Structure 1
Amino acid sequence: MAVRYIPYYPDTLEGQARLDNFVRTSRMLFYKDNNQVKTRIQRGMPLYEVTESETVGANPDGNIVMHGECLSTCAYLKDKGIEIDLVYIDPPFASGADYAKKIYVRRNPLVQKAINEAEQQLDNSDMQEFEEKMYGDIWDKEHYLNWMYENLMAIKSVMSDTASIYVHLDYHIGHYVKILMDEIFGEENFRNEIVWCYYGPGSPGMRNFNRKHDTIFWYSKSEDYQFNDKDIRIPHDAKTLDNFKKGLDGSGFISENYDLDQNGKIPEDWWEMAIAGRFPKDGVKRVDYATEKPWALLERIINASSNEGMLVADFFGGSGVAAAVAHKLGRKFVHNDVNINSIQTARDRLVSAGAEFTMMEVRDGVRLFRNPVQTMEKLVRLIPGLNTETNLDKRFWAGSIYDSQKGKMPVYLPNLMDSSSRVMDKTEMNHIIREALPDLGNDVKQIVVYYIDVEDIEELRQFIHDENTQTDIAIELRDLKQVLDDVVIEDKATWEMSQVQVELFTKWQIKMLTFHSDYVMKKIEAFNLIGDQQHQKKLANNKKSTFKPIKISDEGLECIEWLSVDCTNAQKDAPWHSDAEVKIDKTGTVTVNGTKTRNLWDATIQSDDKPLRLKVRNICGDEVLFVL
Structure 2
Amino acid sequence: MPIKYIPYYPNTVEGQAILDNITRTQRVLRYRENDKVYDRIKRGMPYYEVETLETVGEQSENLVIRGECISACAYLKEKGIKVDLVYIDPPFASGADYAKKVYLRRNPKLAEKFAAAEQEMDIDELKAFEEKMYGDIWQKEDYLNWMYENLLAIKSIMSETASIYVHLDSNIGHYVKILMDEVFGQDNFLNEIIWHYENKFKFEFTTSFNRDTETIFLYRKNQEHIFKHIKIPVKNKRMQNEVTWDKERGKMVTKKDADGNVIYYQSEDKIVGTLWNIARLNSMAKERQDYEYATQKPESLLERIINASSNEGLTVVDFFGGSGVTAKVSNDLGRKFIHVDIGINSIQTVRDRLKESKANFQILEIKDGVSLFRNPQQTMDKLATLIPGLQKGVKGISNFWFGAITESKIGIVPVYVPNLLNTQEKVLDIPTINTIINQELQNLEVNAKKVILYYIDIDDQKALEKFIKDNNATEMEVELKDLKNLLHDVVIEDIIDFKTTKTKDGYETEIIKFISDRLIQKINEFNQKGNLQSVAKGKTFNPISISEGGLELIELIAVDCQNIEEQWHSTTEIKIDKLGYVIKDGVKTKEFWDGKIISDKKPLRIKVRNISGDETIKAIE
Give, in whole Å, the separation in 2 of the partners of 1:125 and 1:28. Answer: 48
Give, in whole Å, the separation in 2 of the partners of 1:496 and 1:606. Answer: 12
Of 89-98 and 383-392, deviating more is 383-392
Corresponding residue for residue 603 of structure 1: 595
Corresponding residue for residue 566 of structure 1: 560
1:548 equivalent in alignment to 2:542 = yes
CA-CA distance at 1:52 after TM superposition: 0.4
Deviations along 1:367-397, one digit per CA (max 9) or x if unpaired, are: 4211111101111111111111312455310
CA-CA distance at 1:237 after TM superposition: 5.1
CA-CA distance at 1:601 after TM superposition: 1.1
Q: 2:23 aligns with which of 21, 24, 41?
A: 21
1:113–1:142 CA distance, 2 compared to 1 (3 A): same
**Which residue identity is paired with 2:472?**
N
C-alpha contact 2:195 2:216 (8 A) present in aligned 1: yes
**Which residue identity is paired with 2:487?**
L
Corresponding residue for residue 369 of structure 1: 373
1:224 equivalent in alignment to 2:227 = no
CA-CA distance at 1:34 after TM superposition: 2.5
CA-CA distance at 1:168 after TM superposition: 0.5
Q: Show the 5 A alignment for 1:254-265.
A: 256=256, 264-265=269-270
Give, in whole Å, the separation in 1 of the partners of 2:322 and 2:358. Answer: 19
CA-CA distance at 1:406 after TM superposition: 1.2
Q: 2:410 aligns with which of 394, 406, 415?
A: 406
C-alpha contact 1:409 1:447 (8 A) present in aligned 2: yes
Corresponding residue for residue 511 of structure 2: 512
Give, in whole Å, the separation in 2 of the partners of 1:158 and 1:263. Answer: 40
1:67 equivalent in alignment to 2:66 = yes
CA-CA distance at 1:149 after TM superposition: 0.5
C-alpha contact 1:279 1:296 (8 A) present in aligned 2: no
CA-CA distance at 1:286 after TM superposition: 4.5
SS state of the match for residue 238, structure 1?
strand
Of 411-420 and 364-373, deviating more is 364-373
Aligned residues: 602
Give, in whole Å, the separation in 2 of the partners of 1:361 and 1:134. Answer: 19
C-alpha contact 1:560 1:618 (8 A) present in aligned 2: yes
Deviations along 1:323-344, one digit per CA (max 9) or x if unpaired, are: 0010011111110000111111
CA-CA distance at 1:115 after TM superposition: 3.3
Instruction: Identify unmatched segments of 5+ residues in structure 2.
Output: 243-251, 257-261
Deviations along 1:17-42, one digit per CA (max 9) or x if unpaired, are: 97972399xx8872552221111011
Deviations along 1:221-277, one digit per CA (max 9) or x if unpaired, are: 000100022xx21235535x23649xxxxxx99653878696843201010111129
1:179–1:19 CA distance, 2 compared to 1 (3 A): farther
1:593 equivalent in alignment to 2:585 = yes
Corresponding residue for residue 242 of structure 1: 239
CA-CA distance at 1:110 after TM superposition: 1.1
SS state of the match for residue 346, structure 2?
helix
C-alpha contact 1:565 1:612 (8 A) present in aligned 2: yes
1:268–1:258 CA distance, 2 compared to 1 (3 A): farther
CA-CA distance at 1:152 after TM superposition: 0.6
1:550–1:193 CA distance, 2 compared to 1 (3 A): same
Q: 1:270 aligns with which of 269, 272, 275?
A: 275
Give, in whole Å, the separation in 2 of the partners of 1:336 and 1:441. Answer: 43
C-alpha contact 1:17 1:182 (8 A) present in aligned 2: no
**Which residue identity is paired with 2:23?**
N
**Which residue identity is paired with 2:353?**
R
Give, in whole Å, the separation in 2 of the partners of 1:319 and 1:195. Answer: 22
Give, in whole Å, the separation in 2 of the partners of 1:534 and 1:138. Answer: 27
1:334 equivalent in alignment to 2:362 = no
**Which residue identity is paired with 1:581?**
E
Corresponding residue for residue 487 of structure 1: 490
**Which residue identity is paired with 1:412?**
Y
C-alpha contact 1:277 1:295 (8 A) present in aligned 2: no
Q: Show the 5 A alignment for 1:461-480.
A: 461-469=465-473, 471-480=474-483
Give, in whole Å, the separation in 1 of the partners of 2:475 and 2:572. Answer: 62
Deviations along 1:93-127, one digit per CA (max 9) or x if unpaired, are: 00000000100011101112233345555443321
Q: Show the 5 A alignment for 1:148-547.
A: 148-198=147-197, 199-203=199-203, 205-229=205-229, 232-236=230-234, 238=236, 241-242=238-239, 244=241, 256=256, 264-276=269-281, 286-287=289-290, 288-441=292-445, 443-469=447-473, 471-500=474-503, 506-539=505-538, 545-547=539-541
**Which residue identity is paired with 1:592?**
K
Instruction: Identify unmatched segments of 5+ residues in structure 1.
Output: 246-251, 540-544
Give, in whole Å, the separation in 2 of the partners of 1:237 and 1:562. Answer: 45
Give, in whole Å, the separation in 1 of the partners of 2:19 and 2:442. Answer: 36
1:169–1:383 CA distance, 2 compared to 1 (3 A): same
What's the TM-score, normalizing by structure 1? 0.91
Deviations along 1:330-370, one digit per CA (max 9) or x if unpaired, are: 11111000011111101000000000000001111344211
CA-CA distance at 1:498 after TM superposition: 1.8
C-alpha contact 1:194 1:218 (8 A) present in aligned 2: yes
1:97 equivalent in alignment to 2:91 = no
What's the TM-score, normalizing by structure 2? 0.92
Of 218-227 and 268-277, deviating more is 268-277
Give, in whole Å, the separation in 2 of the partners of 1:619 and 1:278. Answer: 19
CA-CA distance at 1:201 after TM superposition: 1.4
**Which residue identity is paired with 1:617?**
R
1:600–1:278 CA distance, 2 compared to 1 (3 A): closer
Give, in whole Å, the separation in 2 of the partners of 1:46 and 1:493. Answer: 37
**Which residue identity is paired with 2:441?**
L
1:344–1:261 CA distance, 2 compared to 1 (3 A): farther
C-alpha contact 1:369 1:375 (8 A) present in aligned 2: yes
CA-CA distance at 1:496 after TM superposition: 2.0
CA-CA distance at 1:441 after TM superposition: 3.4
SS state of the match for residue 148, structure 2?
helix
CA-CA distance at 1:497 after TM superposition: 1.4
Deviations along 1:484-507, one digit per CA (max 9) or x if unpaired, are: 111100000111212346xxxx13
**Which residue identity is paired with 1:112?**
A
Give, in whole Å, the separation in 2 of the partners of 1:72 and 1:118. Answer: 53
1:13–1:227 CA distance, 2 compared to 1 (3 A): farther
**Which residue identity is paired with 1:177?**
V
Corresponding residue for residue 33 of structure 2: 33
CA-CA distance at 1:12 after TM superposition: 8.9
SS state of the match for residue 463, structure 1?
helix
